[in-house]
Amino acid sequence: MNRPLDRPSFGLIAAFTLLALPLADYARQGGAQQPTPPPAQTPGVVPANPQQPPTFIREVNLVDVLATVLDRRNKLVPELDKGDFKITDDNAQQEIRFFSKQSDLPLRIGMLLDTSNSVRDRIKFEQEAAVDFLYSVLRRGKDQAFAMTFDDEPQVIQAFTGDGGMLRDEINKTRAGGGTAVYDAVYEACAKQLSNPPRPPGDQPDIVRRVMVLISDGEDNLSNHTRAEAIEMAQRTNVVIYAISTSTQWIQLSQTDPSKAANRKMHLTEGDEILKNLAEETGGRAFFPYHVDDLNQSFQDIGDELRNQYTITYSPSNFTANGKYHRIKIEVPNHNGYQVRARRGYFARSRTGSANPSQAPAPNPSTSSPPTHTTPGKP
Q: Where are the domains of the chain?
A: 58-102+310-376, 107-306
Q: What share of the chain is helix, strand, coil (3-state, %, to 5)?
A: 30, 25, 45
Specify the length of the chain in residues: 379
Q: Distance between CA atoms of 278 and 243, rounded to whole angstroms?
A: 8
* Coil vs helix vs strand at 75: coil
Nearest residue to 111 via CA among 85, 147, 57, 80: 147
pLDDT digits (tens, 9 = 90+) for 309-367: 999 999 999 888 887 889 999 999 999 999 999 999 887 875 444 444 444 443 343 33
Q: Which helix (H) or strand (E) element contains residue 373?
A: strand 372-376
For residue 154, say if its preceding peptide bond is cis, omega within 30 degrees of 0: no
Q: Distance between CA atoms of 87 and 94, rounded to whole angstroms?
A: 6
3-state secondary structure string, 195-210?
A: CCCCCCCCCCCCCCEE
What is the number of H-type helices and E-type strands within the chain?
8, 17
Assign a CATH topology to domain 107-306.
Answer: Rossmann fold (3.40.50)
The pLDDT value given to residue 364: 40
**pLDDT band at residue 124 using 50, 70 and 90 as cut-offs:** very high
The pLDDT value given to residue 379: 27
Q: Distance between CA atoms of 145 and 147, rounded to whole angstroms?
A: 7
Distance of CA 364 to the CA centre of its chain: 17
Whether pLDDT at 251 is above 80: no
Which has more confidence, 260 or 225?
225
Q: Which range has the worst mean pLDDT, 116-130, 168-182, 315-329? A: 315-329
Looking only at the bridges linking them, the beta strands covering 144-150 and 107-114 are: parallel
| Mean pLDDT along residues 231-250 | 90
Compute the C-alpha angle 217/221/223, nearest 5°. Answer: 105
Q: Which helix (H) or strand (E) element contains residue 244?
A: strand 239-245
Compute the C-alpha angle 215/155/213, nearest 5°. Answer: 25
Count of beta carbons in the 10 Å neighbourhood of residue 58? 12
Nearest residue to 241 via CA among 229, 251, 250, 231: 231
The pLDDT value given to residue 233: 93
The DSSP letter of residue 190 is I
Q: Distance between CA atoms of 206 and 313, rounded to whole angstroms?
A: 17
Burial track 35-50 (b if 16+ CB lie within 10 A, e otherwise)? eeeeeeeeeeeeeeee
Residue ranges with strand state E in 79-131: 86-89, 92-93, 96-103, 107-114
pLDDT digits (tens, 9 = 90+) for 37-48: 555 554 555 555
Q: How crowded is the C-beta side of 22, counted as CA atoms within 13 Å?
A: 3
The DSSP letter of residue 36 is P
Q: Distance between CA atoms of 319 and 302, rounded to whole angstroms?
A: 33
The pLDDT value given to residue 291: 86
Whether pLDDT at 162 is above 70: yes
Q: Distance between CA atoms of 99 and 87, rounded to whole angstroms?
A: 12
Average pLDDT across the chain, whole number: 79
Q: Distance between CA atoms of 163 and 261, rounded to whole angstroms?
A: 35
Rg of the chain (C-alpha set): 27
Count of beta carbons in the 10 Å neighbourhood of residue 82? 12
Q: Distance between CA atoms of 42 and 174, rounded to whole angstroms?
A: 63
Q: What is the DSSP string of 42-67?
A: PTTEE---TTS--EEEEEEE-EEEEE
Q: Distance between CA atoms of 133 and 107, rounded to whole angstroms?
A: 13
pLDDT digits (tens, 9 = 90+) for 72-118: 998 999 999 999 999 999 999 999 999 999 888 899 999 999 999 99
Q: Tell me the whole-structure pTM to 2 decimals.
A: 0.75
